Amino acid sequence: MQFNSVTKKLPTHLHKFIVQQPYDDYTAQNQAVWRYVMRLNINALKQIAHKSYIKGLKKTGIDQEMIPRMEGMNRILKEIGWAAVAVDGFIPPNAFMEFQAYNVLVISSEIRTIEHINYTPAPDIIHEAAGHAPIIANPEYSEYLRRLGEIGSKAISSPKDDEMYEAIRLLSILKENPNSTKTEILEATKAVNTLQENMGELSEMAKIRNLHWWTVEYGLIGTLENPKLYGAGLLSSIEESQLCLKNEVKKIPYSIEAADVNFDITNTQPQLFVIPNFASLSFVLEKFANTMAIRTGGLEGLKKLIVSKKLGTIELSTGIQVSGIFNNVLDANNRPIYFQTNSPTALSVKGTELIGHGTEHHPSGFGSPIGKLEGINIAIEDMSPKDLEVYGIIEGKNTCLIFEGGVKVEGTIVTGKRDLQGKIILITFKNCRVTHFETLLFDSSWGVYDMAIGNHICSAFAGAADSNSFEDIYTISDTKTAKIIYSAEEQQLHQLYETVKNYRTNCDSNIDSLMRIFKEVKSNYPFEWLLLLELYELVYDKDLSLKNEIHEELLKLKQNKQFTKLITDGLDLIIKK
């Protein structure tokens, strides 16, 4: 892709999710679906959406007539400090959030099929581009979205979250592909429902996803009695944008409690949360962030990382950061006294890897005691040079350090590392043995021993302190969006859509040609309501006889409940125009 002033700031580990927008693969029917949804939504949303939405459409370069090209959107989005990139459907939640933290909107390059024109469980370009992009033109909301991404990208997940992500990704792909079988969809739906019922205690990521869902996706703003829409899921759904304001959908004041309210991506929402203004979003977000391990650290934060079984980071009170997959912690009196990783590990300070302490130096893992020395009130990090000498912490000296909780470090000190303020953050030993009573934690035969210095864990979060320390932070799903295979009959239908689109674009209404198209649709595509609407629009103020014939056919199709509202709304649009 071509990077601009915004996207060039993306870290390289996110690049693998970016795909080329397959613009030439969009069929003329896809373009018609975009046009129908956009015209209908804009017409309705003028009255029920937050005022930022309509203004934002113009600011972000969203055209109701054609599916937007990513390059065109980016030229306009960069003026408000944002960018957009195409991705293949759902991407891992932490990666999604990290894109957002860099002011980059991820847009699924797919578009919903006509069968799911009202609503699709899959992320699509209508939802992403026409739903999300316009609202970010509001500065206050834009900053909330960035901040949510920044905090959310550090949220610790659980293995159940990973299972749910893969299950929902598969279900959304299958549901949106007309070539999928009913059996495949039923099995995938069952898998999602089973997981939803057995998620157990919600992880930080599950809770942040709930907050994201009830605000960014399905948020209402204003009063409980007269709310307006701002969530992209509502703004991009013909059906739910209307249903959500009905009394049957419960309206609840938005608060931190929304983090514990799960959602079902396959159904309409039974309740929605209402914010009084965009400023309240950041207030709740900060309140929630105060409960996260990134701010609380401690034993609980470390345990969350161990449960996640994924790359994470702890930061000790000296500022040294340890990044790896944590697998063990020893504790005493509810305080961690020793931690271990069992994967390639890197040490950093302030997000920058310490020279000589990357994964190549710690390829098998890392372990270190935490806390004060037994019987000594002052922590090692706070010791003066004289204190260090008194307690035997001197280069070249063979020493024995016993920490509170019973961890013993015996060996010869080789060197130490200090930060810019002179605080000692790391001590390296040779001929070192580390034990916890009878348990061996490190043996001298394993090489030199690096001991991180810190009295306590002040922060724990998902991902690496320095992303450059690791080659593969995120994994791309093996489940790929399948390219839809169209039959010869469907390809012919798309060609008819293309012809009608060209007539509209060129302001040309060849009645004889349109009559032939109408007859072919009537004979070969008896349920093709959208193309009939496009034909009807072209002849509405031109040929009375063809207009009447098309109208009569549309009225017949309206008797099918599946098409009643779609056709009624489409006819209203044409009449108003």
Pairing of the two strands 83-87 and 104-108:
parallel
Q: Which of 13-22, 281-290, 296-305, 399-408 has the lowest mean pLDDT?
A: 13-22
Enter the tokens of residue 20: 């080329």
Question: Who's near 105: CB < 8 A, 6+ residues apart?
Answer: 77, 82, 83, 84, 85, 99, 128, 132, 133, 136
Q: Residues 196-253: pLDDT tens digits?
A: 888 889 999 999 999 999 999 999 999 999 999 999 989 988 888 889 999 999 999 9
Are 156 and 203 spatial neighbours (Cβ–Cβ below 8 Å)?
A: yes
Residue 34 clears pLDDT 90, i.e. is over it: yes
Q: Each residue of 404-421: pLDDT tens digit?
A: 999 999 999 999 999 888
Angle, CA of 269, 279 and 228, to the nearest 5°: 40
* Backbone torsions φ then ψ of 251, nearest 5 degrees: -105, 130
In terms of Cα–Cα distance, which of 40, 53, 63 is closest to 119? 40
In 472-517, DSSP assigns E strands to none
Q: Is a pLDDT exceeding 80 seen at residue 7?
A: yes
Residue pair 289/151 in contact by the 8 Å Cβ criterion: yes
Report the candidate in 179, 160, 165 with the shortest Cα–Cα distance to residue 115. Answer: 179
pTM to 2 decimals?
0.89
Q: β-strands 335-341, 346-349: how paired? A: unpaired
- Residue range 156-185, pLDDT digits in tens: 999 999 999 999 899 888 888 888 899 999
Strands 407-418 and 424-436, sheet pairing:
antiparallel
Out of 261-275, 292-306, 427-441, 461-475, least confident range: 261-275
Locus of tokens 């207030």 = 283
Would the pLDDT of 432 be above 90?
Answer: yes
Q: What is the mean pLDDT of residues 554-559?
A: 95
Could you tell me the CATH superfamily of domain 7-286? Aromatic amino acid hydroxylase (1.10.800.10)
In this prediction, residue 372 has a pLDDT band, given cuts at 50, 70 and 90, of: very high
Q: What is the pLDDT of residues 435-444, one digit of tens each?
A: 999 999 999 9
Evaluate if residue 128 carries a pLDDT over 90. Answer: no
Question: What is the distance between the alpha carbons of residues 330 and 299, in angstroms, rounded to a whole number?
Answer: 9
pLDDT of residue 58: 78
Q: Give the residue extent of every domain in the chain.
A: 7-286, 301-469, 488-576
High-pLDDT (> 90) share of the chain, %: 72
Q: Is residue 551 over pLDDT 80?
A: yes
> Region 302-310: what's the mean pLDDT?
97
Cα atoms in the Cβ-side hemisphere of radius 13 Å centred on 146: 16
pLDDT tier for residue 541 given thresholds of 50, 70 and 90: confident
Tell whether the model's pLDDT for residue 121 goes beyond 80: no
Please compute the mean of the pLDDT values over residues 31-57 and round it to a whole number: 90
CA dist 449 → 368, 410, 427, 428, 431 (Å): 9, 10, 8, 6, 8
Q: Return mean pLDDT, the chain.
A: 92
558 pLDDT exceeds 90? yes
Q: Decide: residue 468, CB within 10 A, 0-12 exposed, 13-18 middle, 19+ buried.
A: middle
pLDDT band, residue 1 (cuts 50/70/90): low
Q: Which residue has the tokens 């999604």?
A: 96
In the prediction, which pLDDT does 62 show?
Answer: 82
Q: Tens of pLDDT along 520-539?
A: 999 999 999 999 999 999 99
Q: Are 97 and 289 in contact (CB under 8 A)?
A: no
Q: Can you tell me the distance from the alpha carbon of 425 to that of 382, in angstroms, rounded to the nearest whole number? A: 10
Q: Which pLDDT band, with edges at 50, 70 and 90, does 100 fall under?
A: very high
What average pLDDT does range 358-365 have in this prediction? 96
As a whole number, mean pLDDT of residues 298-320 equals 97
Is the pLDDT assigned to residue 129 strictly greater than 70? yes
